[in-house]
């Protein structure tokens, strides 16, 4: 069992292709948690206020009314992993900062030993909606970094892109690092997003350093999202009002 959260000081890169191009890169802090362990360094808490925190209600199920680990277990079981005995489930997410929380995407990871077998990509938009994409090989074998897992896009994320096209997911996950890549292809349009970082045991020093290096945590992430939206608007991107979210939670 993981006794402490791991701190992944990651770097994300986004590149938009098509008629209007835009690219950006910035640092972001993720925590990798064993959701059965409430422990953590002094400046981190589970389900209560702290400098950094992760609340079960923010994950697994409806946004703000999540069920956390029981929801993830149900999804993995319903999608082909009926016997979860050999597996453990970790959550990789950006923690809240002084009570403020927003996660463009969090990842539920199903592992047997160090081998990654399935992922639930839990996607949130800035309009208050959520949808999750289940990712696994068709034979349920361990996912390698070279494996391409596809899913139809059915959830509105950016107001400057249609709800169409398909995602291709690549998950690189080792005992020392993560390297995730998500590519959206929609004809001549699309986006590529990467997330790379080294896994280290979370400690008060690393989290306090992150607060100084990238102040305001999740609030900073939201500000960066709106800043990139303004840049796209200035380049002539057309705004599309958000449609109703999909009725099903997971696809």
**Percent of the chain residues topping a pLDDT of 90:** 76
Name 209's Cβ contacts closer than 8 Å, sequence gap at least 6.
none
* DSSP single-letter state for residue 19: S
Band (pLDDT 50/70/90 cuts) for residue 3 is low
Band (pLDDT 50/70/90 cuts) for residue 1 is very low
What confidence tens digit (pLDDT) does each residue in 165-190 have?
A: 999 999 999 999 999 999 999 999 99
Quote the CA–CA distance of 120 and 109 in Å, as a whole number.
7
pLDDT, average across residues 83-103:
93
**Which tokens sit at 205?**
């020093």
Output the pLDDT for position 32.
97
- Angle made by CA atoms 86, 89, 87, in degrees to the nearest 5: 5
H helical segments located in 51-193:
69-78
Q: Write a three-state SS string for 21-44.
A: CEEEEEEEEEEEEECCCCCCCCCE
Count CB neighbours of 36 within 10 A. 11
Look-up of token digits 């970094």: 145
Does the pTM of the predicted model rise above 0.85? yes
Band (pLDDT 50/70/90 cuts) for residue 85 is confident
What confidence tens digit (pLDDT) does each residue in 195-227 have?
A: 999 999 999 999 999 999 998 888 898 899 989
Q: Residue 227 belongs to what H/E stretch? A: helix 218-234
Quote the CA–CA distance of 147 and 91 in Å, as a whole number.
21
Band (pLDDT 50/70/90 cuts) for residue 2 is very low
**Residue 218, SS3?**
helix
> 115-124 and 130-136: which strand pairing?
antiparallel
pLDDT, average across residues 84-107:
94
**Which tokens sit at 246?**
């999909």
Task: Give me the torsion for CA of 207, 60, 105, 146, rounded to 10°.
Answer: 100
The answer on pLDDT for 247 being more than 50 is yes
> 44-46 and 52-54: which strand pairing?
parallel
Output the pLDDT for position 38.
72
Q: Residue 246 belongs to what H/E stretch? A: none
* DSSP single-letter state for residue 137: -
Q: What is the mean pLDDT of the chain?
A: 93
What confidence tens digit (pLDDT) does each residue in 12-54 have?
A: 999 998 889 999 999 999 999 998 887 789 899 999 999 999 9
- Angle made by CA atoms 43, 109, 90, in degrees to the nearest 5: 35
Output the pLDDT for position 233.
87
**Which tokens sit at 218?**
């999740």
């Amino acid at each position: 069992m993981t006794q402490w959260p791991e701190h992944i000081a990651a770097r994300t890169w986004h590149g938009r292709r098509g008629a209007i191009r835009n690219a950006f890169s910035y640092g972001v802090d993720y925590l990798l948690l064993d959701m059965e362990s409430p422990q953590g360094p002094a400046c981190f808490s589970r389900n209560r206020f702290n400098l950094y925190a992760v609340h079960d209600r923010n994950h697994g199920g409806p946004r703000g009314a999540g069920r956390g680990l029981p929801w993830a277990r149900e999804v993995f079981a319903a999608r082909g992993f009926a016997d979860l005995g050999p597996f453990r489930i970790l959550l990789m997410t950006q923690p809240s900062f002084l009570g403020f929380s927003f996660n463009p995407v969090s990842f539920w990871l199903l592992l047997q030993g160090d081998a990654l077998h399935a992922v639930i990509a839990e996607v949130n938009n800035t309009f208050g909606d959520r949808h999750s994409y289940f990712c696994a090989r068709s034979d349920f074998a361990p996912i390698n970094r070279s494996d391409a897992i596809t899913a139809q896009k059915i959830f509105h994320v950016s107001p400057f892109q249609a709800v169409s096209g398909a995602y291709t997911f690549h998950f690189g996950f080792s005992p020392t690092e993560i390297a995730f890549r998500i590519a959206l292809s929609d004809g001549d349009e699309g986006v590529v997003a990467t997330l790379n970082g080294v896994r280290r045991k979370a400690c008060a020093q690393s989290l306090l350093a992150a607060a100084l290096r990238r102040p305001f945590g999740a609030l900073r992430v939201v500000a960066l999202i709106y800043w990139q939206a303004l840049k796209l608007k200035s380049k002539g991107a057309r705004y599309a009002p958000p449609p109703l979210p999909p009725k099903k939670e997971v696809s």
